[in-house]
Amino acid sequence: MTNPDNEKLIDYLVVLDKPGRRFSSEEDTCWGGLIEPAPGENPGKTDEGIKIVLFGSWEFGYLALETLKAFESRFPQKLNLVGFVTDHPLNPDARISVRKRVWGLLEMHERVIDETTIIESALSHGTPVYTGEVKIESFRNLLKKWNPDAIMVCVFGQLIDHFIISFPAYGIYNFHPSDLSHGYGAGTSPYSDLAERHAETTVWTVHHVSEEIDAGHIIGQSPEICVLDDSRKLPENPFVVYNRIAEALGPMVSILAGELYRRWMLRKAVAVDCFDFASAFPEKVIYSLKRPVKRNDPENIFLNPDRSLFL
């Protein structure tokens, strides 16, 4: 069972932030657990629409979460965000490859901000949050309870097993910020890949999740995203580049959610196999993605999520 001492910070900053929220963990998990929103935390939330669970963390995962929330708020009959699963970068017991991933670039206080912000965002929407292991029986039971029609993944540190992959009738999809169709940037360091290749552009790739990292069938990609500044150089600060790349994420998530809803309405219970995301982007967004990156603009997406949302 998870060590309660490792959960005190989350308990204090998130659970106790609003009366009625509850944290619990099961005997078979070594870290994290389930945080449930207070009763009536989002009274406007309904049970209608296609049921989606999101696995995600950090700023990209936060933007995916905010996009799905905005989609549901605008079209409550179309989408129901029934659960959110996130990394736990504050707990040393969590096996999420902290040093190899973006968390390794952040100080502990920055991880606290990221973790509490994303959990608070989900809970305030009336969506329960899970921060523990996913390849255990208690999480499988939780997934059965949530019973999602589809799962989306964006920046998640644990390997996802066959049980989860095969569970949703409408598929499980990962958003990865590199051109996987040409074999570029798989794994934990898409910025390093750009630097090593002296790349001028990149894309978001959406692919089916497989048990091998970033190796599932590719269903589509975003328009090209410029990653060079006015001097035609890649900014040395990876967060500047990531914030540029983030501008295309909201549209990708929203477009996929719309396609999944269309299939759900038609009762076409099969995964999306191929989709032309670029053709669905508004021209003004495509134009923005072609502009040079602002060299000194490592804007924190947590402070301005609206800039990548598209509905």
pLDDT digits (tens, 9 = 90+) for 74-123: 999 999 999 999 998 878 888 888 777 887 777 887 887 888 899 999 99
- Angstrom CA distances, 245 to 78, 150, 203, 293, stand at 27, 24, 8, 10
Residue at token pair 């208690």: 138
pLDDT digits (tens, 9 = 90+) for 219-275: 999 999 999 999 999 999 998 999 899 999 999 999 999 999 999 999 999 999 999
CA-based max dimension of the chain:
55
Res. 140: pLDDT tops 80: yes
3-state secondary structure of 280: helix
304 half-sphere exposure, CB direction, 13 A CA radius: 10
Res. 124: pLDDT tops 90: yes
Q: Which of 184, 300, 301 is nearest to 249 (CA)?
A: 301
More confident residue, 168 or 243: 168
pLDDT confidence of residue 290 = 95
Strand segments, DSSP code E, in the chain are 22-24, 34-36, 50-56, 79-85, 129-130, 150-154, 172-176, 201-202, 205-208, 218-221, 225-226
Identify the band that residue 5 occupies on the pLDDT scale cut at 50, 70 and 90.
Answer: low
Residue environment code for 82-117, b if the CB has 16+ CB neighbours within 10 A, otherwise e:
bbbbbbbbbbeebebebeebbbeebeeeebbebbbb
Identify the band that residue 57 occupies on the pLDDT scale cut at 50, 70 and 90.
Answer: very high
pLDDT confidence of residue 1 = 57
Q: Which of 16, 21, 106, 102 is nearest to 57 (CA)?
A: 102
CA-to-CA distance for 8 and 191, rounded, in angstroms? Answer: 34
Identify the band that residue 306 occupies on the pLDDT scale cut at 50, 70 and 90.
Answer: low
Q: What is the mean pLDDT of the chain?
A: 89
Structure letter (DSSP) for residue 229 = B
The CATH class, in words, for 4-308 is: alpha beta
Where in the chain are the domains? 4-308
Res. 12: pLDDT tops 80: no
pLDDT confidence of residue 6 = 53
Q: Whole-model pTM above 0.75? A: yes
The distance of Cα 81 from the centroid of its chain, to the nearest Å, equals 13
pLDDT confidence of residue 80 = 98
pLDDT digits (tens, 9 = 90+) for 16-36: 568 889 989 899 998 989 999
Average pLDDT over residues 180-189: 90
3-state secondary structure of 300: coil
- Residue 8, C-beta contacts closer than 8 angstroms, at least 6 positions apart: none
pLDDT confidence of residue 294 = 82
H/E element, 200: none
CA-to-CA distance for 272 and 136, rounded, in angstroms? Answer: 28
Q: Let me know the angle formed at the C-alpha of 116 by 112 and 118, rounded to the nearest 5 degrees.
A: 120
Identify the band that residue 311 occupies on the pLDDT scale cut at 50, 70 and 90.
Answer: low
